[in-house]
Chain A
Amino acid sequence: MLTALRCVIARDLLLALRRRSDVLTALLFFVIVVSLFPLGLGNEPNLLRTIAPGVIWVAALLSSMLSLSRMFSEDHADGTLEQMLLSSSPLGMIVVGKVVAHWLVAGLPLVLISPVLALQFDLHQSLLWVLTLSLLIGTPVLSLIGAIGAALTLGLRGGGILLSLLVLPLYVPVLIIGAGTIDIASAGLSAQGHFMVLSAFLVVAAVFAPLAIAAALRISAE
């Protein structure tokens, strides 16, 4: 079972490595969207400091959503997905592998670059680790929820727009708590409660999302 998990992750990472431009595009999108806000809203430092958590979180959310539609579509097109459905390893485990790979490719780079972007917004240094940690816990949730939408819209016309309509409402709680973490910490209060709620989201999503993704894949591939 764990072999299947490792194989799927290794395969998806290898595929991503062979096509580095895809990974870089999502990362560049994140950086550009975040940089647009100071240009559009003016460079008043107090304003930028206030909006930084929200802007970075929204940009991370959009950027990780952009790469969702590719999560299963290529496997669906070349028949790999059918082999995965037929495989003797549990589909839930394979799906977890796909999600982990998606997060490593589309989520982790955003987490790593976010402190640099936060510095551009003059976010206080003590808040940098809060932001990074909140993204570190939050982005896997985005990948897990997003995978449900990706599996449901597999092979549909207008899948990309539809995917955002399905997934964005479900992202909202993660966004509120995630961005709220930094707001709370910047007010000088303990962000522990927010981190716990965010971690609870991760645990619940990690348990239930693979079941929903697997069910959705079976429906889509019927």
Chain B
Amino acid sequence: MSAGTTATGPNRKRTQINWFKYSSPQTFFPLAAKLAPWFGAAAALLCLAGLYISFFVAPTDAQQGDAYRIIFIHVPAAWMSMFLYVVMAFWAGAGLVFNTRLSGMMASAIAPSGALMTFIALWTGALWGKPTWGTWWVWDARLTSELILLFLYFGFMALQAAIDDPRRADKAGAVLALTGVVNIPIIYFSVQWWNTLHQGSSVSMKSAPTMAATMFAGMIVMALGFWMYSIAVTLLRVRCIILERERRSDWVAQYARTLK
């Protein structure tokens, strides 16, 4: 970058970071190691705070009793399941367009977290449905499309696992991930489009949430916690993937020597 020549003083020079530097696996590897503990700590703090708010501060719901408290896990997990798919598809698409190695690695590192979030959303949804709706599962539009999302994650991971060449695995996974992106708006708007059992969203950008402020705060804090957790775990996972794929390069050999 031309940062060195345009900078007027030494201070300016120091603050400029060349982000493209970190698009190479070799430079991203130590950065991920530095960032992961911070995100992990943030995740732990936010989740603890969120759980405290959701169990001790938020009031009992007038209609659903204490059973509603599972939404503090359920809603953030459901948000993350969709968000992570979009992020995964973004990295996969970036890898396909710009042919960068790290993007594909990021996509495959995100997939297991996304599948986990989808599974948690489905599982807690079932636990919530039993006392509230009287059934573990209904074939409602949102539940079904969330289940499809889980299958899409599984399909993505299975396809990548079946291909030995990592570059081909990245590209093939990218095409699949981008095809599956169609499902995300379907899940998100399913509650509005089809008038089914799953209740409408209580939180929206346009109007005030139709729930107590403390409930809303608990949900947001938990969602942030899940987000931080996903970033931390993805960074750790991408480190493993980098090591595995770059195992024949010199810098990995040097790194391995420092571990001994």
Contact = CB atoms under 8 A, between A and B. Distances in A.
Interface string B157-194: 01100110000100110011011100100100000000
Interface residues of A, number: 23
A216 B148 CA distance: 22
Contact of A172 (B148, B172, B178): B148
A191 to B, nearest CB: 16
B144 interface: yes
B193 to A, nearest CB: 10
Contacts of A105: none
Interface stretch (A60-68, A109-117, A148-156): A148-156
Interface in B190-206: none
A165 B172 contact: no
Interface residues of B, number: 21
Contacts of A169: 148, 151-152, 155, 180, 183
Contacts of A172: 144, 148
A162 to B, nearest CB: 5
A219 B173 CA distance: 10
A44 interface: no
Contacts of B179: 145, 148, 170, 212
B162 A220 contact: no
A215 interface: yes
Interface in A100-126: none
B154 interface: yes
Contacts of B152: 169-170
A161 to B, nearest CB: 9
Given A169-B148, A172-B148, A219-B168, A162 B159 contact: yes
Given A153-B159, A166-B155, A169-B151, A219 B175 contact: yes
Nearest to A176: B144
A84 interface: no
A68 to B, nearest CB: 14
A210 to B, nearest CB: 12
Contacts of A168: 151
Interface in A154-191: 156-159, 162, 165-166, 168-170, 172-173, 176
A78 interface: no
Contacts of B171: 219
Given A156-B163, A172-B144, A220 B158 contact: no
A162 B162 contact: yes
Contacts of A152: 159, 172, 175-176
A166 to B, nearest CB: 5
13 contacts: A153-B162, A156-B163, A165-B151, A165-B154, A166-B158, A168-B151, A169-B151, A169-B180, A170-B180, A173-B183, A219-B168, A219-B172, A219-B175
Given A153-B159, A170-B179, 11 more contacts: A152-B172, A152-B176, A166-B155, A168-B151, A169-B180, A173-B186, A176-B144, A212-B179, A219-B171, A219-B172, A220-B172
Interface of A: 145, 148, 152-153, 156-159, 162, 165-166, 168-170, 172-173, 176, 212, 215-216, 219-220, 222
